[in-house]
Amino acid sequence: MLIVLQFPISDIRGFLSAATGRMGRPSWPQPKQDEEFIRSFGMVHERYSGGIGDWVDEGKLCVANRAVRIPLTDAATQLLQTRQFRVAFRTFYFDGNAVGKYEIGIATKRGTEPSATIAEVVKEFMAVPVVAPNSLAGKPYMGPLQGAGKSLAQQYLAATTRSSARADAVANKWWVEASAPVVLVETNETEGWAIGAEAREQFAAAGDVPAVDYLLLSSADRRLSVWVCTAQPWGHLDETQAVARYRALRTMRIALLRIHAERECLLNVVRNCEQKRIAPEARSTSDAKLQMYLRDATKRVLTTEAAANLPIVALANRYDDQLRPGERAQLLTALANTRQFVQQGVASLVNADADITLKLRKQLHQALVEAFDMDSLARLTAFELGVRLDVITAPGPLTTVVFNVMQWAESNGQLAALVAGACAQNPTSSQIQAVAAAFGQPCPPPAGRPPP
């Protein structure tokens, strides 16, 4: 059995216009393995079994053994020796934008017989005393593991800030913050571990897909979310089938943990936008990075279809979403209040499936090709997007140039601005009017003409 505790850690420094002194290394999301490191955490290495493909990958992690230590106290002896668990890993991951997560896992030794319920072991794990360095606070955290999140966030802030900007980091600890932790338990039926608590929600196993139970445990006067993923036996299967079943179990674990981190970090970014702490200048590098992050994070958190091309990930998203009825609407409202362009972009992601989104893209491409030639397209990008056409794309056929402009606009969070700009530059085009309406931002009537 494997038990993983995750602390989501959001880092919003990339969205701030002011200098923060954040170091450029490790170069997430593709750091140099066995070369780059996080001070006081550890070295970056390739994940032993790799990531999970084109959804979020996570193929490289910081092996962060130095960030949390477990002294051999009576509680640790009970967990690690009497219960026969071992510390399996301590890792840190950052997506290069805002989403970070520290995860610590413990696993049973081979042949271990259950000596307690899953719920009891989880509570013991949360209560085990740990030591976590915190140079920003001037003293280490010493207390139960469940309470180490704040110290981890502050130590990560200190470790990734240049020494010349240390005073700024001390004064602005909100730049990097920890959110609500989550626990995931990975087991299989043959191990015989009883859950020991009533599940709030249950999802049945199907083929290689594991059964998933969701619990809310009381631990240290807090409510702790716990996922329990139980695979069906695979001892009777041939090697190929057994590997497929284990991979399904592992993918479910990685997906549920990543979705939790994504949601918690997205909520923190939105809160900071609402409080005007995040307010980058329009069309600045920070602004473009914020727009891209909000688009991509919202898609991962709020869409439950198999847009990730991984059925297990789609299932994990649906499981997570089912536990939080109404959260989508609340988050959409918060995003809409943050920025109008976010509302438009997010609404199209949440309310449309992948086929409709593809159809809209094709419709926009066709409309731009029919409504603009190369000269008028250059005016569109220069006057409405503030970027010269030759900066966005190399010369080529009109269809290719339009496609490249759309790709640039989407990757820079400017798709809504491209549609609005097309309306402004060619308001009489019926194709542009139709695609703008489909995107939920109808063209205003041409000057001098009353609205219909």
SS in 3 state form for the chain? Answer: CEEEEEEEEEECHHHCCCCCCECCCCCCCCCCCCCCEECCCEEEEECCCCCCCCCCCCCEEEECCCCCECCCCHHHHHHHHHCCEEEEEEEEEECCCCEEEEEEEEEECCCCCCCCCHHHHHHHHHHCEEEECCCCCCCCEEEEHHHCHHHHHHHHHHHCECHHHHHHHHHCHHHEEECCCEEEEEEEHHHCCCCCCCCCEEECCECCECEEEEEEEEECCEEEEEEEEEECCCCCCCHHHHHHHHHHHHHHHHHHHHHHHHHHHHHHHHHHHHCCCCCCCCCCHHHHHHHHHHHHHHHHHHCCCCCCCCHHHHHHHHHHHHCCCCHHHHHHHHHHHHCHHHHHHHHHHHHCCHHHHHHHHHHHHHHHHHHCCHHHHHHHHHHHHCCCHHHHCCCCCHHHHHHHHHHHHHHCCCHHHHHHHHHHHCCCCHHHHHHHHHCCCCCCCCCCCCCC
Q: Would you state the pLDDT for residue 176?
A: 97
What is the separation of C-alpha 240 from the centre of its chain, rounded to a whole number of angstroms? 31
Span 386-405, average pLDDT: 88
Greater model confidence, 97 or 414: 97
- How would residue 416 be classed by pLDDT, with cut points 50, 70 and 90? confident
Span 91-96, average pLDDT: 94
Span 340-361, average pLDDT: 49
Span 76-94, average pLDDT: 94
Sketch the domain layout of the chain as residue ranges.
2-19+27-341, 353-438
Span 344-366, average pLDDT: 59
Q: Would you state the pLDDT for residue 111?
A: 81
Greater model confidence, 370 or 295: 370
Contact between 69 and 47 (Cβ < 8 Å): no
Q: Would you state the pLDDT for residue 292?
A: 78
Q: Would you state the pLDDT for residue 349?
A: 41
Q: Which of 30-39, 69-78, 327-336, 443-452 has the lowest mean pLDDT?
A: 443-452
Span 121-149, average pLDDT: 95
Greater model confidence, 335 or 263: 263
Span 208-227, average pLDDT: 88
CA distances from 104 to 90, 107, 184, 193, 409 (A): 4, 10, 11, 20, 39
Position 127: which residue type?
A
Query: Which tens digits make up the pLDDT trace of 157-189?
Result: 999 999 999 999 999 999 999 999 999 999 999
Q: Would you state the pLDDT for residue 127?
A: 95
Residue 58 has pLDDT above 90, yes or no: no
Q: Would you state the pLDDT for residue 298?
A: 74
pLDDT, mean over the chain: 85
Distance CA 86, CA 79 (A): 9
- How would residue 347 be classed by pLDDT, with cut points 50, 70 and 90? very low
What is the pTM (predicted TM-score) of this model?
0.74
Q: Which residues pair with 227 in a beta bridge?
A: 184, 214
| CA–CA–CA angle 264, 252, 42 (5° rounding) | 65
Q: Would you state the pLDDT for residue 165?
A: 94
Greater model confidence, 332 or 350: 332
Q: Would you state the pLDDT for residue 350?
A: 43
